[in-house]
Amino acid sequence: MKRNSKFPDLTSVKAPLSEASFLPSEYYGNDMHFLREKTTILQRNWIVVGRWEQVENTGDYFTIDLFEEPIVIVRDQNNTVKALSNVCRHRAAAVAQGSGNTKHFVCPYHQWNYKLSGEFNGAPAMERATDFTKEECGLDEFPVMEWQGFIFVNLSKTAKPLDLTEVDDYIRPFHLSELKRLEPIRYDCPWDWKISSENVMEFYHYPGVHAKTVGGLFDINNSIDAEYEDSLLAVGGENLYALGRGKPYIFAMQASQNSLITPGIPAFEVPESLANKQVGVHVFPNISLIITPNFTVWPHFIIDNANSHRLEYNILVHPDLADKPEFSGIREYFREMIQAIHDEDMPVLKQVAKGLKSANHTPGRLSHLELVIWLFHTWMLEELG
C-alpha cells in the first residue's frame, strides 16, 4: 500500500488477531485524519481529565483544554463536581487559570462574576443593557462522570453513562477510588498520541526496551494461547485476559514471577491470589491503568493535535503514603522508578513516529501479545464508521 493512498485498505486491520496487521501510517500524524478522529471519537466519548483529590474540597478547581475546548473542573457549593466552560460569556476570556481554590470565578477582562456552579453572579456597568438576565449568562456545562476516583468529561452533552461495573468486579480489591496521586512526571511528546497509548497497551516490548528495569519481572511467553467470544476474551489462563470485544474497555492481567508486594509501606491489603499480579485496565479512547498491590500507574494522555500530546505519568498510592512526611523517600523512589521506565520508552517512540512518516512503511503483522492494541484498533474503526 502506498503512503499517499487516500483510502487505505483496512481489511487486514479488521481481520482476526492471528491474521491482523497494524493500522496504516495514514492514521498517524495526519491532520485530516485527526480532525475526523476528534469529531467522531474524542468529542463523543468519555475522556478522563483528572482525579477526585484534585477537587477534594469545595472551591477546589483545575483547568484543562480538551481538543481546543477550555474547561474548568470544580467542586461546587453543593459538593458536586462540575465541568464548566472556561470561557466567559461576555468576551470569551478564561475565567480560571491553572488550579487552586476559590469562592467564585471572576473573569480578569471585565470582571464578570460566576458562582462555583457556573451560574452568573453579576457584572459591573451592565445596568443599561436591556433585557439582560442572569439566567442567560451562566457558564456552559458539560456532562461529568466519576469512576474509581477518576473524573471523566464528555463534550457531546448527550452522552450515555459509561457502564464499567464489569471491570469494577475485578479491580475492587485494589481500592482505586481511595488512592491519591503523587506529583506527575511530565513529558512533551511531538508525535501522534496513539503511538504512546498503544505502547502502554502491551507487554511485548518489555524484554527489549525495559531490559534494565522491569523487563525481567514478567514472562511474556506465558501468554500464548488466545481464545475469544463476543463478550469475553481470554488469553493465557490466569496470566492475561480481557473483557469484551466490541466494548469500550479492556481488563488484562499479567502474573509476575515473584510477589509485587513491598513490606513496610502503606498499601491496601489484597487477596494472596493477587499478590503477584499486575493488572491493566484500558478504557477507550484515553485511559490506561497499570495496577499493582503497591501502587497504580496512570499515564494521562492530554491530546493537542495530530502531532503533539502531553503525557503525565501519575502514580496513585495509599493516602498515608501520599500525605505523611515519613514516607517522602518512598514517594521519591516510586517517581524515580516510573521515570526510569518511561525514559526507556521515549527514544523508541520517537523512532516509531519518524518511521511512520516513511513513504516505504508497510504496516506489520500483530503478535498475539498485542491483542489489546488489536481491540483498540477494531473499536476505533467501528467508532469512525
Domain ranges of the chain: 47-153, 165-384
For domain 165-384, the CATH superfamily is Naphthalene 1,2-dioxygenase Alpha Subunit; Chain A, domain 1 (3.90.380.10)
Least confident piece of the model among 15-29, 152-166, 210-224, 259-273: 210-224
With a cut of 60, say whether residue 1 has pLDDT above it.
no
Cα-based distances in Å from 5 to 8, 26, 34, 358, 359 = 6, 8, 16, 13, 10
Give the residue-averaged pLDDT of 107-132.
96
The DSSP H or E segment spanning 348 is: helix 328-355
CA–CA–CA angle 158, 162, 168 (5° rounding): 165
Q: Which pLDDT score is estimated for 242?
A: 53
Q: Rounded mean pLDDT of the chain?
A: 88
Exposed, middle or buried by CB within 10 Å (0-12, 13-18, 19+), for 95? buried
Q: Which pLDDT score is estimated for 79?
A: 98
Least confident piece of the model among 86-100, 208-222, 300-314: 208-222
Grid look-up 485496565 returns: 281
Of the pLDDT bands very low, low, confident and very high (cuts 50, 70, 90), residue 295 is very high
Q: Which pLDDT score is estimated for 230?
A: 36
With a cut of 50, say whether residue 4 has pLDDT above it.
no
With a cut of 90, say whether residue 354 has pLDDT above it.
yes
With a cut of 80, say whether residue 208 has pLDDT above it.
yes
Give the residue-averaged pLDDT of 94-107.
98
Least confident piece of the model among 34-38, 116-120, 157-161, 228-232: 228-232
Q: The pTM is what?
A: 0.90
- CATH for 47-153, options being 3.90.245.10, 2.102.10.10, 1.20.1730.10, 1.10.3470.10: 2.102.10.10
Within this chain, domains 47-153 and 165-384 share the same CATH topology: no
What are the pLDDT digits (tens) for 257-279?
566 677 888 999 988 878 877 78
With a cut of 70, say whether residue 6 has pLDDT above it.
no
Q: How far apart are CA 25 and CA 362, in angstroms?
A: 8
